[in-house]
Amino acid sequence: MNLLASDPLALATGGTSLQASHTTGSYIRETAWNSPPHPPARPGSSASGGGFSKVFRRPAYQDGVPGIGAFRGVPDVAADAAANTGMTLATTDGGENYVLVSANGTSAAAPFWAAVIALADQYAGRHLGFVNPAIYRIGRSSLYHRAFHEVTTGTNTVVFPGQSFTGYRARPGWNPVTAWGSPNAEELVPLLARYAGS
């Protein structure tokens, strides 16, 4: 597990693989991001991070969450990270020409969450600050299934030539693969504006 993600002051982001309608773009479902190996171009698989810290004790905002023991569990949230379903970014080639590139991995999912929180800041008309307690408050509430897309299938087990690293399985509620899930921003943004810093 990455030390930076497991810091209790960080919002750790896991990865999913999104399925959406090809005609309308509407949400269908997500699974845990886990790309199998494709030799020879990619000798190993890529998957959502997740697990439990051996350094940081469980922060107060994770108290009472089923599946989290005495140490910090990660991730806290998730977003699309798969190469075949991830984001398309428009960049420049250094001049006036724009180039479309694919962004994937949790390196794409984390800035996606930063954008969601920036929208919540804008909605609230103030800087919300540390949002982790609000994320967990919403996750443990009756508003959970409105604010998040719960991701309950897949694992973060990875396979490399000659070895395999057994991960965790996604399941209902918080889990150490996809956490609370991906945001339904239309519902989550106003909830974060209401609960963060309160």
The model's pLDDT over 135-172, given as tens digits with 9 standing for 90+, comes to: 999 999 999 999 999 999 999 988 877 788 899 999 99
Domain that holds residue 179: 3-195
CATH of the domain at 187: 3.40.50.200
Distance CA 177, CA 173 (A): 11
Provide the number of structural domains found in the chain. 1
Q: Is 109 helix (H, G, I), strand (E, B) or coil?
A: helix
How many CB atoms neighbour CB 37 within 10 A? 15
Indicate whether this model's pTM tops 0.85: yes
| pLDDT 10s digits, 56-87 | 999 999 999 999 999 999 999 999 998 888 77
